[in-house]
Amino acid sequence: MNEKRDIYLDNSATTRCFLEVAALMNEIFLEDYGNPSSMHHRGVTAERRVAEAKKTLAGILKVRDKNLYFTSCGTESDNLAIIGGALAAQRRGKHLITTVIEHPAVLEAMKHLEAMGFEITRLGVDSDGLVSPEAVAAAVRPDTILVSVMHTNNEIGAVQPIAEIGAAIKAANPATLFHVDAVQGFGKALILPKRMYIDLLAASGHKIHGPKGMGFLYVADGVRLEPILFGGGQQDGLRSGTLNVPGIAGMALAAKMLCSNLDADRENLFAMKNRLIERLGEIPDVCFNGRTDETAAPHILSVRVRGVRAEVLLHALEDKGIYVSAGSACASNRPHLSATLSAIGTPSSEMDNSIRISLSVMNTMEEMDAAADAVAEIVPFLRKFVRR
Question: Catalytic positions, please?
Answer: 330
For residues 22 and 137, which CB has a smaller minimum distance to ligand PLP in the complex? 22
Closest separation between CB of residue 183 and ligand PLP, Å? 4
Closest separation between CB of residue 106 and ligand PLP, Å? 7
For residues 73 and 249, which CB has a smaller minimum distance to ligand PLP in the complex? 73
Closest separation between CB of residue 340 and ligand PLP, Å? 10
Closest separation between CB of residue 203 and ligand PLP, Å? 8
The residue ranges that bind ligand PLP (CB under 6 A) are 73-75, 78, 103, 105, 150, 154, 181, 183-184, 204, 206, 215, 330
d(CA 209, CA 242): 23
Which residue has the closest beta carbon to ligand PLP? 74
Torsion angle of the four alpha carbons 14, 260, 53, 157, in this order, in degrees rounded to the nearest 10 = -30
**C-alpha distances in angstroms, 10 versus 15, 96, 318, 324, 342?**
8, 32, 11, 5, 22
| Radius of gyration of the chain measured on its C-alpha atoms | 21
Nearest to 284 by CA among 309, 302, 307: 307
For residues 60 and 183, which CB has a smaller minimum distance to ligand PLP in the complex? 183
For residues 147 and 374, which CB has a smaller minimum distance to ligand PLP in the complex? 147
Closest separation between CB of residue 74 and ligand PLP, Å? 3
For residues 25 and 73, which CB has a smaller minimum distance to ligand PLP in the complex? 73
Closest separation between CB of residue 161 and ligand PLP, Å? 17
For residues 32 and 76, which CB has a smaller minimum distance to ligand PLP in the complex? 76
For residues 131 and 330, which CB has a smaller minimum distance to ligand PLP in the complex? 330
Closest separation between CB of residue 79 and ligand PLP, Å? 9
